[in-house]
Amino acid sequence: METIDVHEGEYYISSDKTRLDLNAIHDYLSKESYWAQNIPFDIVQKSVTGSLCFGVFHENKQIGFARVITDGATFGYLGDVYILEPYRGKGLSKLLMQTISAHPDLQGLRRMLLVTLDAHGLYRQFGYTDVPNPEKFMQRHNPDAYTKKEQ
């Protein structure tokens, strides 16, 4: 996958995985997010390894993140999108979405999906719409994946 860097004033976004702060990502996802509470560090590490990732940085401190799970040809799933609270309202979510949308490895995909509780307005600006036939979609969901111990 091609690595890109986008600079906007004192902020930058990079798809270079070597720049990511896995501890910072894990801290946010496991403690602050509504979708990945209690996620183990090793699962975050594995998810980053298997995804096209985008880190958002201010003075070399990671302040945001997103990843796309994709085959690079037909399908992508956007997940784990966040900007830390003190940095919200500065247009960084839009810059992140612009960067993801423009990434060369994500061009020409037939479908990109995401799930959001409260950011529909942001994603609509980038062409995301409601699923027209949600009854066709199915899932296999394990809500206790990060809290139950294997037996």
38 lies in some domain? yes
Strand order in the sheet with 52-58: 5-8, 11-14, 52-58, 61-70, 75-83, 111-114
Which structural domain, as residue segments, surrounds residue 76?
A: 5-136
**Domain total in the chain:** 1
**Any idea which residue has 């942001």 for tokens?**
122
147 lies in some domain? no
102 lies in some domain? yes
Q: pTM for the complete prediction?
A: 0.93
* Cα 95 off chain centre by: 13
CB atoms inside a 10 Å sphere around CB 35: 13
pLDDT tens digits for range 49-80? 999 999 999 999 999 999 999 999 999 999 99
pLDDT tens digits for range 102-147? 999 999 999 999 999 999 999 999 999 999 999 999 999 888 888 8
Question: Which backbone phi and psi does 125 adopt, to 5 degrees?
Answer: -60, -20
**Do the beta carbons of residue 137 and residue 101 sit within 8 Å?**
no
131 lies in some domain? yes
Question: Which backbone phi and psi does 134 adopt, to 5 degrees?
Answer: -60, -20
pLDDT at 2 over 90: no
